[in-house]
Structure 1
């Protein structure tokens, strides 16, 4: 029984070593390197997306804090538009194109 156990353990270890060696050999090929680079770029893109979302959330929170501060100090509510039309800019004449 002891010989059978050691034989099975050796066979399992051999299969494990052969599979790991195949994986390492694949990683050293151009296709394996390309997969590793692709996975790294995917992780980087995901991290950048998460960072951008956190920055936008922080900006929104800070903008809200600033609006509350302005309203509290001046009584003016930022973001509200006046009922008067905006003044017109320029003379109304269009600029001519340079080519004629």
Structure 2
């Protein structure tokens, strides 16, 4: 009698365990669950990619600083030297320096 009760209980427990396992797996395979899993994986991949990009940026900045130091580009300029000049590519008519010049537009089609 005890032997039959043991095996009946063991079978019932195995059946409950298997049913629970199958139901969990079926819930994981629903379209909503699959979409949520895909979204979570995409977010995780995005975070990993962002971390990688930040690591690359930090490494680039560090290497650039090392190269600048090795080439002497960070050295202070001599106080006796004039400041570097910046040339304007296009004359600005609003600038008082160019106020005396006539304002005209050049149209290359007028030459033909």
TM-score tier by shorter-chain length is: 0.5 to 0.7
Number of aligned positions between the proteins: 91
Larger RCO: 1 or 2 (CA < 8 Å, sep 6+):
1
Q: Are residues 23 and 88 of structure 1, via their aligned partners in 2, closer, same or farther at CA, if it must alter by over 3 Å?
A: same
Q: Are residues 79 and 33 of structure 1, via their aligned partners in 2, closer, same or farther at CA, if it must alter by over 3 Å?
A: farther
TM-score (norm 1): 0.65
Unaligned regions of 5+ residues in structure 1, if any?
A: none
Q: CA RMSD in A?
A: 3.2
Higher-Rg structure is 2
Are positions 1:91 and 2:88 aligned together? no
Unaligned regions of 5+ residues in structure 2, if any?
A: 95-103, 106-112
Equivalent-residue separation in structure 2 for 1:79 and 1:3 (angstroms): 93
Equivalent-residue separation in structure 2 for 1:23 and 1:79 (angstroms): 68
Question: Of Structure 1 and Structure 2, which has the larger fraction of its residues in helix?
Answer: 1
1:60-81, Cα deviation, whole Å (9 max, x unpaired): 221121111111xxxx42698x
Equivalent-residue separation in structure 2 for 1:27 and 1:18 (angstroms): 14
